[in-house]
Structure 1
């Protein structure tokens, strides 16, 4: 048995879905998402005052990627403020209280949903919408 190969395989991440965001002020958006919302700063690659690529992980799983907006860059570059993501958390009430106390813009107050989730939504400084809730999705193979 090749233990080096086994160790390398254990360290690889499973494939994920990564919502992506572009920002006029990407360093400020990274700081907001880490310092205010609670994402973890996993990787931030800068090119001067611009963010070429950032990976922010959610402590309970998953993450997002973002960078500085460059309208002359690659095709498909998203206009800042035009994205959104849903983040699953077991601590939705505590997060809502913390973000409300931090005077974050709440776009949808915390509420129980008919499908069993408790959730709310905020806007970040760029105008993107971030929804937080307890709904983890349905198990695969249900339909």
Structure 2
């Protein structure tokens, strides 16, 4: 298995959207992601985008393009992505301000974490919480 430099993730969720530009706006404005790269075709479709949150990144693009990945994902259902954030209540308030559908408000879990769940406009479920898988403690 390949290893990465310290702090560099080795897993990157990749999601295709009908309206990738709207998804980028939701992820940056409502969820606080940082736009790292966006490559567009001549027709304005998002060929590839990378958005970061902490030391993690998500890759996304427009549905309906040609290519092996697009064809493989053509009939894929929504994805679920978990993101570690520290200030759950403030993060949740920001999402609410931007009109994001909240599936579960900030909730204290039996295992000590606090998290909430939201759905983006194309049905993908985003969970934000304080639990960091693999961390000591």
* Shorter-chain TM-score above 0.5: yes
- Which of 10, 19, 30 lines up with 1:25 in the alignment? 19
Query: What's the RMSD between the two structures over aligned residues?
Result: 2.2
| TM-score, normalised by the number of residues in structure 2 | 0.83
Q: Which is higher, the Rg of structure 1 or of structure 2?
A: 1
Question: Which consecutive aligned stretches of 4+ in structure 1 deviate over 6 angstroms post-superposition?
Answer: none
1:57 equivalenced with 2:57 (yes/no): no
Equivalent position to 2:60, from 52, 55, 66: 66
Q: Which runs of 5+ in 1 are unaligned?
A: 1-9
Shift, 1:132, TM fit? 0.1
Match of 2:37 among 5, 30, 43: 43
8 Å contact kept, 1:21–1:78: no
In structure 2, what is the Cα distance between the partners aligned to 1:25 and 1:80? 15
Q: 1:78 to 1:117 in 2, by over 3 A?
A: farther
**Counterpart secondary structure, 2:26:** helix
What residue in structure 2 maps to residue 128 of structure 1? 124
Structure 2 distance, partners of 1:15, 1:29, is 22
Q: TM-score, normalised by structure 1?
A: 0.80
Q: 1:23 touches 1:67 (CA, 8 Å); kept in 2?
A: yes
Number of equivalenced pairs:
129
Rounded Cα–Cα distance in structure 2 between residues aligned with 1:49 and 1:87: 28
1:16 is aligned, of 4, 7, 10, to 10
